[in-house]
Chains A and B, each alone.
Chain A
Amino acid sequence: MSKSKSKSKPSTNSVRAKKQEKLSFLARMEYKKMIMYPLAVFVIALILLAVNFPTLGIDLRGGVVVTAYGVDANPDELGKYISDKIGVDVRVESFTGVEASGVRVYAPIGTDPLKIIDAMKDEYPNAEYTHSEVQPTFGEIAQQQGIRALVFAFLAMAVVVFLFFRNLVPSLTIIFSALSDMVIAVALMGLFGIELTTATIAALLMLIGYTVDSNILLTTKLLRRKEDSVERAYLAAVSTGFTMSTTTLGALLILWIISTSQTIDNIAIVLIFGLLADFMNTWVLNAGVLKWYLTREAARGGKA
């Protein structure tokens, strides 16, 4: 036991040291740049959102969707075929997973999903069909609730962060990071054509939890560091953060690849977007602000 201990520990530490070395370019960055770049990304994301807001999914907008599993078809041709047959314009999307692939057929509300299924059964009798429909009135309720949930969750997060740190600048930075993560994630959704649905709203809520994790880690390390220099504390934190993010990203990627459930797929992809944004916002933006803040405090002769 003791032998293996002495053998493995140095190797673990040398790996850690190497990683910190690789990440040290972040520590050397000037804080002005560290604040400016992420802010620029945030602004670009805002512009993207204004130009190209993600479309609302049928559960927020209303509509009919038929999902057929075990259908391998050209979406455009299939769409044309169904539209001709039932006399309603439909949109077809294909998807793939490890075990099954299939198509989703979207139609406006009022279309009878059974008709779409009947039309498809002529061509694909062995496929597995499911359908769902949502009235626009309920879509509106869901939208309002989604917005309310996001706003309340965000406020709750903000309050708890304030209570834990009781320090204006670091708290505000964490809250802004979370906001920027969400904005960037939603902008990327628009860019990649991922719809805003109740599932993706759930993912955005999840993001609040993840974002706060890494930001609290950084803030705690820098504000409550006792013996280390700011740079060393930062390096320790960023290497932990890097491990955290890559682990989570890896797990999410696997989830995304294996699942054919749209709910799970969308949650995974939105979280991936958000975590990528979070890496920047935590380790560059938040770190930049904290560096500036600590330097200023030190200059004032504060405790740091």
Chain B
Amino acid sequence: MKRRTKKLLRNWRIILLTLFLIGSIATLALKPLTFGIDISGGVALVAQTEHPVDTKTMQLVVDSLQKRLNTLGLRDITVEAQGDQIVLIKVANVTSPEEANQIKSVIESQGVFYMEFTGTVFGTGSDVEYVGIYKINPDNSWSVPFRISKSAAEKFAELAYGKKGWPVDMFLDPPVNSLMVVPESVYKAMNSSEFNAEAPEAPTLLERIGKAFNISVVAYANQSANEIAKLAQGKEKIVLVDVPGELQTELEGMNLTVRYVPRAQGESDHSLIVRVLGLYGPYSLGEGLTVGEPQQDVQITGSAPDRLTAEQEASTIYTVLKSGSLPVKLNVVGMEFISPRLGEGFRTQAIYAGIGALITVLLIVYFHYRNWKIAIPVASTSFFEVLIILGFAALIKWNLDLPSIAGIIAAIGTGVDQQIVITDELLGGEKTTKISRRSSVLKRMGRAFFVIFASAATTIAAMSFLLVYFVGTLKGFAFTTILGVLIGILITRPAYAEIAKYLLGED
């Protein structure tokens, strides 16, 4: 008996299992597991580019987003491109739904920044050389100082010569090359000197955006969708501002790009215009700037109803100026926010569920064989398998999310199945005579492992496609399933076969 035990312990399969187990436990002790957003809490966003882009542009998008989110002071950000149109952004440690929404708006602002004067764009985001720390004042007004390039400053000095009190506008993501359909009152405001700072003689906002960005504005007077479509010929998109919503569906039905901006509750014409155009300003031109001297240090100011909003507005501008513009417009097409406290709950649940499932396996296997010598090795081999998968995940810093856990479950499930196959093959040959026993054990083991390899191969083949072709969350599922199946066929299954042979006396 002793000799048999020694022989078992010296078996390379058992040694391999032991080594992996020790390695996994050590890894888990040294490197804690990292969890996905859906467990640790945070926000996961799926953004889609306006049109497919090449790998180089995609890389630019990823880098720029990473920079942008970093300036927001967030930790644990991953930005990952998938395919030619999808970017996956995961931010951990986001605690409130509001914070989640701010991240969304930062991603969605393409961040093309324009400085415009009398209908001429004299500088863009690439002219921004340095951005200072933004300031929030007690009255909830804010300012973001920055420095523009020499050439932009010179161009501006030339344009502004002698034009004291004229309006300077800054725009963030204005609807370039579009037709805007606005209510009568909004049209009038844009076509008046309301946005002219202290110079009624300067061109109106309507004229300035027309010249600088090719934006045409029409007042809505019950025009039909067809009429509007005709006016929009040659334009990239139609912006519907506070007009009946049915127009959107009708125009979209004609395959036109439409952006619909409803008026927020109690919003004035003025703030509606500012919002739609992404306008900051207009700033009145001080005398010092009108004498032809280039001035590089400038600032954007604004004001908000409360401190939190002021903080958000200023940090958005700061972020965009600092990180530059995105090469292509991104739309957030999917978003999921999980609060950290909830994630905590999922984690304990996963542990309970895991333990519960193992105990269930133990009991059901016992019920089938009425033999703890089978039930305990089956359940503990599964437990070892989980440990090794987790150890591996910790080692490569795989973020365990719910789909990954599902993958582990899948692997364990097939693992238990295969151990049962091995056990039954061993028990099945009871009636064979002693002489033929040894060869018959080998034969039966061979048959068991044929079943095991065939099913492992199919699972791996099926999951590999998922790993390669799928975008988004199911990658984790595919990865852990494959990992689990590989660990199963290479490490735990052969070891279990040895243990079972030993315990059932088939040696």
Contact code string A203-231 (vs B, CB < 8 Å = 1, else 0):
10110111011101100110010100000
Closest residue of chain A to B425 (Cβ to Cβ) is A240
If A16-B427, A138-B46, A206-B481 touch, does A261 touch B98 (CB 8 Å cutoff)?
A: no
Q: Which of A129, A213, A214, A252 has the most CB of B within 10 A?
A: A213
Report whether A113 and B97 are in contact in the complex, using a CB–CB cutoff of 8 Å.
Answer: yes
Distance to closest chain A CB from B451 (angstroms): 5
Contact B477 A247 (CB under 8 A): no
- Whether the pair B505, A5 counts as a contact (CB closer than 8 A) is yes
- Whose C-beta in chain B lies nearest to the C-beta of A267? B406
By DSSP majority rule, is chain A's interface helix, strand, loop, or mixed? Answer: helix
Q: Are A8 and B334 in contact (CB under 8 A)?
A: no
- A152:B465 contact, CB within 8 angstroms: yes
Is A74's CB within 8 Å of the partner chain B? no
Q: Does B409 count as interface, using CB distance less than 8 angstroms? A: yes
Nearest Cβ on chain B to A289's Cβ, whole angstroms: 18
How many B residues touch the partner, as a band?
35 or more
> Contact string, B397-417, partner A, CB cutoff 8 A, digits 1/0?
000001101100110111011
User: Known contacts A246-B364, A247-B364; is A114 also within 8 Å of B98 by CB?
Assistant: yes
Decide if A135 touches B462 in the complex (CB within 8 Å).
no
In the complex, which residues of chain B have a beta carbon less than 8 angstroms from the beta carbon of A254? Answer: 353, 356-357, 359-360
Q: Which of the listed residues B342, B348, B374, B485 has the most CB atoms from chain A within 10 Å of its own CB?
A: B342
- Chain B nearest CB from A4 CB (Å) reads 8
Q: Is the interface of B mostly helix, strand, loop or mixed?
A: helix
Q: How far is the CA of A94 from the CA of B342 in the complex (A)?
A: 17
| B424 touching A239, Cβ below 8 Å | yes
Which residue of A9, A117, A148, A244 is within 8 Å of B417 (Cβ)?
A244
Residues 358-407 of B contacting A (Cβ, < 8 Å): 358-361, 363-365, 368-371, 373-374, 402-403, 405-406
- Tell whether B293 is near chain A: CB-to-CB under 8 Å: no
Which one of A12, A97, A202, A243 contacts B474 once the chains associate, using CB atoms below 8 Å?
Answer: A202
- Contact between B371 and A164 (Cβ–Cβ < 8 Å)? no
Residues of B within 8 Å of A131, CB to CB, are 97, 335-337
Could you tell me if A264 and B402 are in contact, using CB atoms closer than 8 angstroms?
yes
A190 to B85, CA, bound (A): 32
Q: Is A169 an interface residue (CB 8 A)?
A: no
B416 with A11: CB separation less than 8 A: no
A98 smallest CB distance to B (angstroms):
7
Q: Is the CB of B417 within 8 A of A213?
A: yes
Q: B368, A246: Cβ atoms under 8 Å? A: yes
Q: Contacts of A226 on B, CB cut-off 8 Å?
A: 443
In the bound complex, residues from chain A placing their C-beta under 8 Å from that of B472 are 142, 145, 198
A52 within 8 A of B: no
Asked whether, in the complex, the Cβ of B370 is within 8 Å of the Cβ of A244, the reply is no
**Does A69 count as interface, using CB distance less than 8 angstroms?**
yes
- With CB as the reference atom, state the residue of chain B lying closest to A97: B349
Type the 1/0 row for A131-158, where 1 means its CB is closer than 8 Å to any CB of B. 1111101100110010011001110110
**B420 in contact with A240 (CB, 8 Å):** yes
Q: Kindly state the separation between the CA atoms of A271 and B413 in the bound complex, as whole angstroms.
A: 11
What B residues does A250 contact at CB under 8 A? 360-361, 363-364
Instruction: Give the docked Cα–Cα distance between A154 and B38 (Å).
Output: 29
- B133 CB-CB contact with A under 8 Å: no
From residue B378, how far is it (CB to closest CB) to chain A in Å?
8
Are A224 and B428 in contact (CB-based, < 8 A)?
no
Closest residue of A by beta carbon distance from B365: A247
Chain B residue at minimum C-beta to C-beta distance from A164: B454
Query: What is the bound-complex CA distance between A131 and B1, given in angstroms?
Result: 61
Alpha-carbon distance A201/B463, docked complex (angstroms): 12
Interchain nearest-CB distance for A225 vs B (Å): 9
Contact of B341 among A2, A128, A251, A263 (CB under 8 A): A128
Complexed CA–CA distance, A114 and B504 (Å): 61
B461 adjacent to A255 (CB under 8 Å): no
User: Closest chain A residue to B464 by CB distance?
Assistant: A156
- Would A117 and B97 be within 8 Å (CB), given that A236-B428, A247-B417 are in contact? yes
Does residue B338 face the partner (Cβ distance < 8 Å to A)?
A: yes
B421 at the binding interface (Cβ < 8 Å): yes
Which of B101, B454, B466 gathers most chain A CB within 10 Å? B454
What count of chain A residues pass the 8 Å CB interface test? Answer: 87
Do A198 and B462 form a contact, CB below 8 Å, given A248-B413, A251-B413, A251-B416?
Answer: no
Q: Which residue of A lies closest to B411 (CB)?
A: A209
Instruction: Check B333–A156 contact: CB distance below 8 A.
Output: no
CA distance A199 to B413 in the complex (A): 17
A149 and B465 in contact (CB under 8 A), knowing A250-B361, A264-B405? yes
Would B403 and A130 count as touching, CB distance under 8 A? no
Measured CB to CB, the closest approach of chain B to A87, in angstroms, equals 12
Interchain CB contact under 8 A, B462 and A240 = no
Q: Would you call A217 and B421 a contact (CB within 8 A)?
A: yes
- The interface residues of chain B lying within 8 Å CB-to-CB of A246 are 364, 368
Quick check: B455 and A213 within 8 Å, CB to CB? yes
The verdict on A88 contacting chain B, using a C-beta distance below 8 Å, is no
Smallest CB gap from A65: residue in B: B336
Q: Are A208 and B459 in contact (CB under 8 A)?
A: yes
Contact of B1 among A1, A142, A251 (CB under 8 A): A1
Given A152-B469, A243-B368, the answer on whether A255 and B424 have CB atoms closer than 8 Å is: no
Q: Which of A82-134 contact B (CB under 8 A)?
A: 97-100, 113-114, 117, 128-134
Q: Please tell me which one of the listed residues B353, B424, B505 contacts residue A258 in the complex, with CB atoms under 8 A apart.
A: B353
Within 8 A of A (CB), among B402-461: 402-403, 405-406, 409-410, 412-414, 416-418, 420-421, 424, 427-428, 430, 443, 447, 450-451, 454-455, 457-459, 461
Task: Tell me whether A153 and B97 are in contact in the complex, defined as CB-CB below 8 angstroms, given that A129-B339, A212-B458, A243-B420 are known contacts.
Answer: no
Residue B12 at the chain A interface, CB threshold 8 Å: no
Contact, CB under 8 Å: B406 / A141: no
Which residues of the partner chain A approach B464 to less than 8 Å between Cβ atoms?
156
B473 x A130 contact (CB < 8 A):
no
User: How far does the Cβ of A197 sit from chain B's closest Cβ, in whole Å?
Assistant: 10
Cβ of A7 to closest chain B Cβ, rounded Å:
10
Tell me the nearest residue of chain A to B382, going by C-beta.
A251
Chain A CB within 8 A of B346 CB: yes
Bound CA span A145–B352, Å: 33
Contact of B461 among A1, A132, A159 (CB under 8 A): A159
Q: Which residue of B lies closest to A206 (CB)?
A: B410
Residue B471 lies at the interface, judged by CB distance under 8 Å to chain A? yes
Contact indicator A263/B406 (Cβ below 8 Å): yes
Task: Assess whether A160 is in contact with B418, with CB atoms less than 8 Å apart.
Answer: no
Q: How far is the CB of A153 from chain B (nearest CB, A)?
A: 4
Task: Known A209-B459, A258-B356; judge A15-B402 contact (CB<8 A).
Answer: no
10 pairs of residues in contact across A and B, judged by CB atoms under 8 Å: A9-B504, A157-B458, A208-B458, A212-B459, A213-B414, A246-B368, A254-B359, A260-B346, A263-B403, A267-B409
Q: Given contacts A134-B334, A206-B410, could you give 13 more A-B pairs where the C-beta distance is less than 8 Å? A: A16-B424, A135-B333, A149-B466, A153-B462, A202-B403, A202-B474, A208-B458, A213-B455, A236-B428, A240-B424, A246-B368, A263-B402, A264-B353
Can you list the 3 inter-chain pairs with the closest CB atoms, starting with the nearest? Answer: A138-B333, A153-B462, A132-B336
Residues of A within 8 A of B (CB): 1-2, 4-5, 8-9, 11-13, 15-16, 19, 59, 69, 97-100, 113-114, 117, 128-135, 137-138, 141-142, 145, 148-149, 152-154, 156-157, 159-161, 164, 198-199, 201-203, 205-206, 208-210, 212-214, 216-217, 220-221, 224, 226, 236, 239-240, 243-244, 246-248, 250-255, 257-261, 263-264, 267, 271
